[in-house]
Amino acid sequence: MDKFTTLTGIAAPLPLINIDTDMIIPKQFLKTIKRSGLGKNLFDEMRFDQSGNEIPDFVLNKPAYRKAQILVAGDNFGCGSSREHAPWALLDFGIRCVIAPSFADIFFNNCFKNGILPIPLPQEEVDQLMRDAENGANATMTIDLEAQEITRPDGQKIAFEIDPFRKHCLLNGLDDIGLSLTKVAAIDAFEASAQSARPWV
C-alpha cells in the first residue's frame, strides 16, 4: 500500500447525499478480484450513457476534473453494500482522499485498508470546500496528514481528526498484511519455540 503523507491535487465537487457503493462501482464490475482496472468504471452509470458515451455534465468528465485526486461529497458517502471494490475503483481512478460530512462504516474502514484517506467534517466546512472545488482548475487543495490539516486554495486551513492508529498506518503505508510483516521477527520466534515445544504438531 502506498504511503499517504501530503497530497496536493484538484478537488472535484460531488454534492450528492447517500452515494452508495453501487453508484461508485456498479455490480456488473464486481467479477474481478484485482484491485487495478476498476477506475475506468468508477461512477459508471453517472459517467456514461447506455451506449458507453461520456455524459459531459458529470463532474469527472469535465476537463478540469479528469485528474482529480480529492473528492468533496455529500452526507453518508459509501452507504449500501460492503463491496471493497468501491475504494479500489476510487484509488484506481486516482482519488486518494474523500471529504464528506459522514461515511458508511464499512466503506470508511475499507478506505484505510486501501490507502485512501476519508475525512469527515462538519457540514459547514464541507460546504466551504465544496464551493472551493467548484472553481475547476483552481480547486487545488493540500491534505497534510501529519499536521491533520486541509489547506484551501486561498491558503486558509481546516483541521481534521483521525484515529492515531489509522494515521500511523496511512503514513507508513501499512495495510493488514503490512502490519503483520512488521511483527515477522516475533512471529518467527514464536513458531520456532512452538515447534520445539510441540514437535509432533
In a domain, residue 127? The reply is: yes
- How far is Cα 76 from Cα 182, in angstroms, rounded to an integer? 34
- Predicted confidence at residue 198, as pLDDT, reads 78
Q: Would you say 10 and 140 are in contact if contact means Cβ atoms under 8 Å apart?
A: yes
- Predicted confidence at residue 189, as pLDDT, reads 62
Give the chain's domain count: 1
* Residue 176 in grid coordinates: 493488514
In a domain, residue 90? The reply is: yes
Nearest-10 crossing angle of helices 105-113, 85-93: 50
| CATH number of the structural domain spanning residue 36 | 3.20.19.10
pTM score of the predicted model: 0.88
Question: What averages of pLDDT result for each successive group of 10 residues across the chain (201 residues)?
Answer: 96 97 92 82 96 96 96 97 93 98 97 97 98 91 98 97 97 77 62 71 64
Which residues form the domain of 112?
A: 6-173
In a domain, residue 51? The reply is: yes
In a domain, residue 178? The reply is: no
- Predicted confidence at residue 175, as pLDDT, reads 77
In a domain, residue 199? The reply is: no
In a domain, residue 200? The reply is: no
- Predicted confidence at residue 176, as pLDDT, reads 67
Work out whether strand 117-120 and strand 140-144 pair parallel, antiparallel, or are unpaired. Answer: unpaired
- Predicted confidence at residue 106, as pLDDT, reads 96
- Predicted confidence at residue 132, as pLDDT, reads 97
- Whether the CA torsion 164, 147, 109, 173 is positive or negative: it is negative
